[in-house]
Amino acid sequence: MKLIKDKDMKRTITLITTALLLGACSQDASLAPGNPLADGATPLQVDDIVLEASVPTRAATTLATDNATIGVFCSKETGYDAAQANIPYIYSTATSKWAPKVASAPVWLLAYNANVCAYYPYNAATTYANNTAIPLATAVYTAAGDICFAPNRAMNGTPAKSKTTFAMQRAMAMMVFTLKKGDYPGTCKVSNIMLANTNLPATGTINITAAANTAATVTKAALNYAPLSTGDMTVTTTGQAAQNVLVVPFTLSGNFTVTLTVDGKTMKIELPAATFANSKIEAGKRYLLTLKLNGTALDVTNVTIEDWTDVPMTDTGGKDYEPFPAS
């Protein structure tokens, strides 16, 4: 009888040991992001996305519009099997909530801290899979090019640290060229705007983990923009028109040149670098330049620099300038 009891005891010890090992394996499984069945894995919850105000007294503006989508990154830290890159979260006005675009594929958070950052608007292209080099381009305004981002914050799977509001800031500057007709005698059809400066970047990247713009990958002395994909922009005597151009931030070297092609002829103006604060075109700033066409000359009647705080515009089917009311 004693022998039987010893065997039973050994069997019990073996079963307990096996159970403990299986439990340990289960805990190890929780270290694998992307495994929705892993014990201890919590999906990241997005409470809101706002465009951060640069002035403390001004309220932030929500970016929660129907189908607005952000890309979220989670770093590979201690306890995490791999980084989670460019995971889309989408807003629904029907539910008034942000949620992973694919319900079964959120950003998974564990008990360990990880760095989480995000950008807007989401782009599924592979060039957006690296959060240290999100692409930027100087170009006529499009909503897709108006990149906003929220840099790293530490998050984990605990109730208090698994949800966040991403406070976005702009990666780009915007130049608004408002064109007015003075005593110019012609029809005043503007077919091209050319911007020129030795340091003017055509493209660049931004490291959204640390809020740092990098040097442009390509630099051109001059960039050309046709005001309309469907035709020329006509400036009348009773009104004005504006061209919106997104610009990769940079420090000017020498004069900033604006050349218009008007009725097939060129009209040029040069602005000293000192026209712009600290000789810089800065992220999150909007530069309003009013140009008046007088005879054969192009005059600058006003240059205003302001904080660019309004929400990204909606694309308008290829229309890349906005008509302004008569002044």
Per-residue pLDDT tens, the chain, 327 aa: give them. 444 455 555 554 444 444 444 444 433 434 445 454 355 789 999 999 998 765 444 556 888 899 999 999 999 998 898 999 999 999 999 999 999 999 999 999 999 999 999 999 999 999 999 999 999 999 889 999 999 999 999 999 999 999 999 999 999 999 999 888 888 888 888 888 889 998 898 888 899 998 766 555 555 656 777 654 445 678 877 667 788 899 999 999 999 999 988 898 999 999 999 999 999 999 999 999 999 998 878 999 889 999 898 777 554 333 333 333 333
256 and 189 inside one domain = yes
SS3 content of the chain, % helix, strand, coil (to 5): 10, 45, 45
For residues 247-278, one letter each, b for 16 or more C-beta atoms within 10 angstroms of the residue's C-beta and e for the rest, the string is: bbbbebeebbbbbbbbbeeebebebebebbee
Q: What is the DSSP letter of 17?
A: H
- Indicate if 220 and 314 belong to the same structural domain: yes
Q: Which residues contact 67 (CB under 8 A, 6 or more apart)?
A: 90, 91, 92
Verify that 140 and 215 share a domain, yes or no.
no
> Quick one: 177 and 246 in the same domain?
yes
11 part of a folded domain: no
pLDDT given for residue 309 in this prediction:
81
Statement to judge: residues 320 and 223 lie in one domain: yes
Residues 56 and 121 in one domain: yes
Predicted confidence at residue 8, as pLDDT, reads 55
pLDDT given for residue 315 in this prediction: 44
User: CATH code at 106?
Assistant: 2.60.40.2620
- Token pair for 24: 């340990």
Residue whose token pair is 């660049």: 204
pLDDT at res. 40: 73
Residue 29 belongs to some domain of the structure: no
Considering the domain architecture, whether residues 102 and 182 belong to the same structural domain is answered as no
Domain assignment present for 249? yes
Question: How far is it, in rounded angstroms, from Cα 280 to Cα 122?
Answer: 28
pLDDT at residue number 226: 63
For residue 174, give every residue at least 6 positions away whose Cβ sits within 8 Å of its Cβ, in sequence order, or none. 141, 146, 244, 245, 246, 247, 285, 286, 287, 308
Domain identity same for 133 and 228: no
In a shared domain, residues 205 and 308: yes
Can you give the CATH number for the domain in which 199 is found? 2.60.40.2630
Q: How many domains does the chain have?
A: 2
Are 306 and 202 part of one and the same domain?
Answer: yes
Q: Of the residues 170, 186, 214, which one is the last residue of a structural domain?
A: 170
Answer with the one of 154, 170, 186 that is the final residue of a domain.
170
Asked whether the whole model's pTM tops 0.85, one would answer: no
What is residue 64's predicted lDDT score, i.e. its pLDDT? Answer: 87
For the residues of 119-135, what is the DSSP string, one character each?
Answer: EES---SGGGS-TT-EE
Residues 163 and 88 in one domain: yes
In a domain, 3, yes or no: no
Predicted confidence (pLDDT) per residue in 200-216, tens digit? 988 888 999 987 665 55
- Residue 2 within any structural domain of the chain: no
In this structure, what token pair is assigned to residue 177?
């060229």
Q: Is residue 259 part of a domain?
A: yes
For 54, the domain range is: 42-170
Residue 100 covered by a domain: yes
* Pairwise CA distance, residues 203 & 248, whole Å: 7
Confidence (pLDDT) at 230: 42
Answer yes or no: is 281 within a domain.
yes
Helix/strand number for the chain, H first, E second: 1, 27
> Final residue of a domain: which of 170, 201, 221?
170
The answer on 208 and 131 residing in a single domain is no
